Amino acid sequence: MGFGALLAGAPPLFAQDVIAGASLQPAAGVRQGGAMFQVQRDGHSAYLFGTIHVGKADFYPLDAKILQAIQQSSCIALEIDPNNNQAMVPLIKKYGIYPDGKSHQKDLPPKLQKELAALLEKYGMAPDQVASLKPWLIATMLGINEYSSQGYLSQYGVDTTLANLAKKSNKRLVELETADAQLSLLGSLSYTEQVQFLQDSIDEIQDPAKAQRSLELVNLWRSGDVDGLAAMLAEMNSEDTFASKFMQRSLLDGRNPGLADGIAKLANSTNAPFVAIGMLHLVGPNSVLAILQQRGYTVTRVY
Which has more confidence, 73 or 8?
73
How many residues are there in the chain?
Answer: 303
Instruction: Give the pLDDT confidence of 9-22 residue by residue, as tens digits.
Output: 555 554 333 223 33
pTM: 0.89
What mean pLDDT do residues 203-209 have?
93
Task: Say if CB 221 and CB 32 are below 8 A apart.
Answer: no
> What integer best gives the mean pLDDT of the chain?
89
Give the tens place of pLDDT for each residue, 28-64.
Answer: 455 779 999 999 999 999 999 999 999 999 999 999 9
If residue 232 lies in a helix (H) or strand (E), which one and from where to where? helix 226-237
Tell whether omega for the bond before 61 is within 30 degrees of 0, i.e. cis.
Answer: yes
- Classify residue 170 as left (phi > 0), alpha (psi -120 to 50) or beta: left
Taking Cα atoms as reference points, which of 77, 65, 69 lies closest to residue 267?
A: 77
Cα dihedral sign, 151-10-130-19: positive
Domain boundaries along the sequence of the chain? 5-22+43-301
* pLDDT tens per residue, range 57-83: 999 999 999 999 999 999 999 999 999
Q: 223: Cβ–Cβ under 8 A, 6 or more apart, which residues?
A: 31, 33
| Per-residue model confidence as pLDDT tens digits over 275-288 | 999 999 999 999 99
pLDDT at 227 over 80: yes
- Would you list the DSSP string of 124-136? T--GGGTTTB-HH
Phi, psi of 84 (to 5 degrees): -85, 70
Query: In the predicted model, what is the mean pLDDT of residues 232-236?
Result: 92
Report strand pairing: 274-278 vs 44-51: parallel
pLDDT of residue 3: 56
Q: What is the pLDDT of residues 105-136, one digit of tens each?
A: 888 999 999 999 999 999 999 998 999 999 99
- R_g of the chain computed on alpha carbons: 19
Beta partners for 124? none
Q: Is the pLDDT of residue 138 over 70?
A: yes
- Torsion of the alpha carbons at 124, 126, 129 and 133, rounded to the nearest 10: 100
List, for residues 142-196, the tens digit of each pLDDT value.
Answer: 999 999 999 999 999 999 999 999 999 999 999 999 999 999 999 999 999 999 9
Residue 4 has pLDDT above 80, yes or no: no
Q: How far apart are CA 94 and CA 96, in angstroms?
A: 6
